[in-house]
Amino acid sequence: MDSPARTPPPSPGTLGDVLVDWFAEAARDLPWRRPDTDPWAVLVSEVMLQQTPVARVEPVWRDWMARWPTPAALAAASPAEVIRAWAKLGYPRRALRLRETAVALTERHGGVVPADVAALEALPGIGTYTARAVACFGHGRPQPVVDTNVRRVVARLVHGRAEAAPARAADLTDVAALAPADPGRAVRFSVAVMELGALVCVARTPRCTACPVRTNCAWRLAGCPAPEGPPRRVQKFAGTDRQVRGRLLDVLRGAEGPVAAPQLHEAWADAAQRSRCLDSLLADGLVEQTADGRFTLPTG
């Protein structure tokens, strides 16, 4: 008696379609994903979301888009206004880079965000990930968009590894192979796989029972092997230069004019660390020193 035929595993394209259908039901309602969101708003969201959680980004993004709805509007703002509006998102150099991008868009592209990846990458502060994300999510052009979450999903689903290896050129090929053939669904796939990594296929405690492609996941089929090598150290924040820089900027944001050095002393007790962080803020263009030795946010 012949044995029953085995059902072949789904093709990569089929897995992509499964993720698109899952995303239609499970996606978070984020304002920069709505149909009326223009490419500039998508670009701003992508820069803000770098190393910053969605919950912290959303209110700041809404304020920015109400205040500076176009590249030309942001380009006309002063660096000090931009740094103040950045609030506590962290890594405030991104605020100045966004303003530099807005100036470049206004001067080179007539205030319009281009759809071409190469043109986007030529803008100040825009890397490969952000360029592809804006082309895909802002302009609706199918692109493999690879961030940390996507690399982790592909590592598990395709390669059977608990964690992603260091970034490599083949990541784009791996993601492109999973995407549906239909261009519109390919665009939605790019955000769907990112959402899966953010909500389900998370780093430490993946929610495998909620995963729409769990039966085809190479990592699960291999018995969920543990990560190779020693566990990664969790980056602390308390007491770091990042915290000190933020404290110093908080003082300057709340001041109506230049601040004397003794006022900054109150922000952090360790004089050596405070001095080092102030020097780094000056070097990054986030702080300026006046002729009389006081400190202020950049004026132009």
For residue 239, what pLDDT is reported? 87
Q: What are 97-152's pLDDT values in tens digits?
A: 999 999 999 999 999 999 999 999 999 989 999 999 999 999 999 999 999 999 99
For residue 32, what pLDDT is reported? 97
Region 177-193 average pLDDT: 96
Residue 3 binned pLDDT confidence (cut-offs 50, 70, 90): very low
The rounded percent of the chain whose pLDDT value lies above 90 is 83
The rounded mean pLDDT for the chain is: 92
For residue 237, what pLDDT is reported? 80
For residue 2, what pLDDT is reported? 45
Q: What are 234-262's pLDDT values in tens digits?
A: 668 888 999 999 999 999 999 989 999 99
Q: Which amino acid is at 263?
A: Q
What's the token pair of residue 202? 């998370």
CB of 179 within 8 A of CB of 16? yes
Which one of the listed residues 25, 46, 163, 266 is annotated catalytic? 46
For the cut 90, the answer to whether the pLDDT of residue 198 exceeds it is yes
For the cut 60, the answer to whether the pLDDT of residue 299 exceeds it is yes
Compute the distance between CA of residue 48 and CA of residue 61 in angstroms, rounded to an integer. Answer: 8
Annotated active-site residue 46? The verdict is yes
Residue ranges and CATH numbers for the domains of the chain are: 29-139 (1.10.340.30), 148-222 (1.10.1670.10), 241-296 (1.10.10.10)
Question: Hey, what's the torsion of the CAs at 223, 224, 226, 231, to 10 degrees?
Answer: -170
DSSP character for 86?
H
Region 179-187 average pLDDT: 95
For residue 43, what pLDDT is reported? 98
Residue 231 binned pLDDT confidence (cut-offs 50, 70, 90): low
For residue 6, what pLDDT is reported? 46
Q: What are 56-106's pLDDT values in tens digits?
A: 999 999 999 999 999 999 999 999 999 999 988 989 999 999 999 999 999
For the cut 50, the answer to whether the pLDDT of residue 4 exceeds it is no
- DSSP H helical segments within the chain, as ranges? 12-26, 39-49, 54-67, 71-75, 79-86, 93-109, 117-121, 128-133, 148-157, 170-178, 183-199, 218-221, 241-254, 261-265, 271-283
For residue 12, what pLDDT is reported? 59
For residue 88, what pLDDT is reported? 87
Beta bridge partners of 295: 259, 289
For residue 165, what pLDDT is reported? 82
For residue 229, what pLDDT is reported? 62
For residue 14, what pLDDT is reported? 86
Region 153-176 average pLDDT: 91
CB of 218 within 8 A of CB of 157? yes
Compute the distance between CA of residue 221 and CA of residue 100 in angstroms, rounded to an integer. Answer: 48
